[in-house]
Structure 1
């Protein structure tokens, strides 16, 4: 566990430290698109946060490669190489989209290429565990199709929920925590070595999210963009694929001691595909609803709109931060309930607790006017921009719009001013004005 924690903290630290210079680079590169009608934020915000995340990913894997109990993950398989190859392709595609924009079909093709490269290097589904039957082998073609489909679904599900400050990073972090507990239990609880890569990838993914969140919480100073959201979705898919079909049920039966005890112990063996879907149940449901909604309206499934689940929470009266916390709550409920069901002796307790939490969540969901405040004694410990828990949608007369405070510092404003002045000065007759307008957003 100590080596996993060291890898996690290293990834988080590198991601956190890289995000600030990446933000400056995004401003200089003009990666700040103008605010669109479907956006929630009120002013242009730099993107390319995925650059910092990719740096954290590389740092975490580099650290793990020098740790005693994790080196075999790099020596006994090609999962790490396949991950880096696919992540590199996905990351480059996301960076291009953040800066210049990429057509939806081209983006889909790039996602399939990244998944295909990983399959070609051996990161593929080789069998599917079926309750009551065991592991059912699949053909190479079937394994390839399942793996590519899983990657594309995961990537787009995470991309769809990246609509509020801190939402995608927080929900993926919760999903990665649940998947880490699942993989770590198989590895150290039942001695299943094939679960070690999934545990490592989950730990690195947690670090990437935790390192980026301080910069991305409302009001966000930088967005992860597609370079970050697609990278996070890929990591979730890789953690799932790396463990699917590689767990031998006979090993668990032997460790459990008896067939009767193994029946419950085998529950986590039979859900390597189900667990990743439950931990992203909300974004997956949002993805399916969006496809149905847009197709029914005669639009392209890739046409953007403002009818996602987080948009609906804002419409019924929840504040920005409160809507994000509600989504966190439901994501954690689905993810950790699934993991808890696989480790308890009886599922009745889990079901009762889950039902009680669902009822609590529904009550909170229907109370958008309630605004909790931190106790006065804790106010000095809360960051200044988060001390006022009561957010207002409309700005006060003569003040900046709500949610924009703290997003741009004086240094950033000076940098933007110099960029605008330089562009305006270099724009000759008939040229340069368009670029200046794009940079300013």
Structure 2
């Protein structure tokens, strides 16, 4: 049965591998190329019409392999959206024109009973379907902003949907959609070969809109659970998770532009991929990271379909919280020029994005979610089946008490006064106090109200441990992401620090926090043999002076920073001579206290005895 998907996939792949070069030559011959512009990422003129190859391959293979009848509506609407995209590639349509066309095409699907089943109201489901189709179509169009990104995410999302759908009944509509999707994925895979960095062809709006429409429509129908039914979580979460990266990027870009007073339809270098590159990741690493997140979201989607609903809900909540934190981290990266922000006088500026990751309402809402999840998970870990049902009434009764007490404790100990990007050990102590006070307070309140009858103290022990892990993990997330970026960053001067002591640690923290990202840390150099093969601040001690000589001879270092004050003059001169010989910069980072204004001079005060002595009186 697997061959019914693999054969169409490889036929479409082979066809696409042939048609993409033909489309590229045709685009160049017709002058349909994308020159570099200030609001686009690519730096060289690149052919368009990759979408022509994807669309023609898909239409030809579906018609030849399966016939036209079963897919008449889907193929007709795909051709319509392709024409809209191709027209936009050639003559550049206005955003409102494309939006009207997309709504009209989505309405055709609803007319022919393509509909989401998220609610019990057919009217509401019909409106949601139009919104879903238009939204996902535009999400793929926005995602096409870096070599290989859109096509790669499409392949991963489509593969995840097929895995989640498998095994599928050959008599069900999902089987027809699976065969169709296999062809589209094959056509996309053939295009991706030529679209990887550095790309020789772009898919253009014709390809991005075609892919977006097809993925939106294919994910409309709910898949049955293993038990033969589909719960609400799987119905909603499965398509959202499969297509999470396009949705994630569209949401981030749209909100960022609106909050900065820019038009949501205006192009720009403010996508998630651009933000990752702006903090030092290479294009390949940035795209690979988003591919990985798409694969992780797809894995969660598959798990939602195949595991118990109560556990899958925790999994979905945890993953979405993680993605929200990642979005907050990306949102704080400055991608708009200050002048652009100043021109939007009276508008909300990007500074309001600090709201997401500081101590205000968003942080409180996050903690409410974490407290509820930790308390629910503690019951799930201790009981299952009938035992869980017997204790679940206690959970529902006590959840408001636990939530309210814990939120008050978090506020009382000052948990909302810190900045995530500076989270450290002493900040974690604050959360330990908050969890201890909140847990004890909740237990005492329950004891007062119900004498703790029907409750287990083990629940609160597990709850406290889970909550502490969640709270500290969420606050440390910004630092963890920054450390990941620093280690994968490909830009900046290659840096080693001479001296792995306290001064070296200070230097590492200062240089790694450089807002201009001028340095890429390789490690430490230290002559102390006891420091060999140890790690400082997560970076290795590479060796001593002789190892530094080897690195400079190999041209593996651009900057050497001396961090220790204990270095003798002779060794410092050796370093100067060595760095001069190999054309490497030698610097010293010093932390000193500079007096900017001397303390005011105050005359010495006289005692009462001395003042009295001037008058001849002691009393």
Deviation digits for residues 251-310 of structure 1 (CA, Å, limit 9, x no counterpart) = x6xxx6xxxxx4xx6467752342221122222122122222222222221112211110
1:178 shift after superposition: 0.6
1:138 corresponds to: 121
Tell me the secondary structure at the aligned position of residue 220 of structure 1: coil
Q: Deviations over 1:394-423 (max 9, x none)?
A: xxxxxxxxxxxxxxxxxxxxxxxxxxxxxx
Cα distance in 1 between the residues matched to 2:258 and 2:30 = 36
Report if aligned partners of 2:8, 2:183 keep a CA contact under 8 Å in 1: yes
For the residue of structure 2 that corresponds to 1:118, the secondary structure is helix
**C-alpha contact 1:30 1:99 (8 A) present in aligned 2:** no
Q: State the match for 2:241 in structure 1.
A: 278
What does 1:13-92 align with in structure 2 at a 5 Å threshold?
A: 13-65=14-66, 80-92=71-83
Q: How does 1:390-401 map to 2 (within 5 A)?
A: none
- Coordinate RMSD, CA, aligned: 3.1
Task: Give the conservation status (yes or no) of the 8 Å contact 2:142–2:250.
Answer: yes
1:203 to 172, 176, 182: 182
Change (3 A) 1:152 1:2: same
Superposition deviation, residue 154 in structure 1: 0.5
Which residue, 324, 328, 333 being the options, matches 2:291? 328
Q: How many Å apart are 1:364 and its aligned residue?
A: 4.2
Cα shift at 1:110: 1.3
Contact 2:238–2:305 (CA under 8 A) maintained in structure 1: no
- Of 128, 134, 150, which residue of structure 1 is paired with 2:132? 150
TM superposition score normalised by structure 2 = 0.50
Q: Which residue of 1 aligns with 2:257?
A: 294
- Higher Cα Rg: structure 1 or 2? 2
Cα gap change, 1:145/1:341 in structure 2, threshold over 3 Å: closer, same or farther? Answer: closer
Question: Quick one: which of 215, 230, 251 aligns to 1:236?
Answer: 215
The alpha carbon displacement at 1:24 in A equals 0.7
**Alpha-carbon distance in 2 for matches of 1:207, 1:111:** 25
Structure 1 residue 39 displacement after superposition:
2.0
Q: 1:349-368 residue pairs with structure 2 within 5 A?
A: 362=481, 364-368=484-488
Return the alpha-carbon distance in structure 2 between the equivalents of residues 87 and 194 of structure 1.
18
Q: Helix, strand or coil for the counterpart of 2:188?
A: helix
Answering whether residue 300 of structure 2 is matched by residue 337 of structure 1, we say yes
Instruction: Report Cα offsets for 1:303-361 as digits up to 9, x if no partner.
Output: 1221111001111111111111111001100111220242246948x9599899x99x9
In 1, are the aligned partners of 2:61 and 2:183 still within 8 Å (CA)? yes
What SS is found at the alignment partner of 2:197? coil
CA contact (8 A) 1:8 1:60 kept: no
Q: Which residue of 2 aligns with 1:116?
A: 107
RCO higher in 1 or 2 (8 Å CA, sep ≥ 6)? 1
1:227 equivalent among 206, 211, 218: 206
Q: d(CA) in 1 for partners of 2:136 and 2:3?
A: 29
Report what 1:166 is aligned to: 148
Aligned residue pairs, count: 333
How far does residue 142 in structure 1 lie from its aligned partner after superposition? 3.1
> Cα offset for 1:85?
1.3
Whole-angstrom distance in 2 between the partners of 1:329 and 1:364: 14
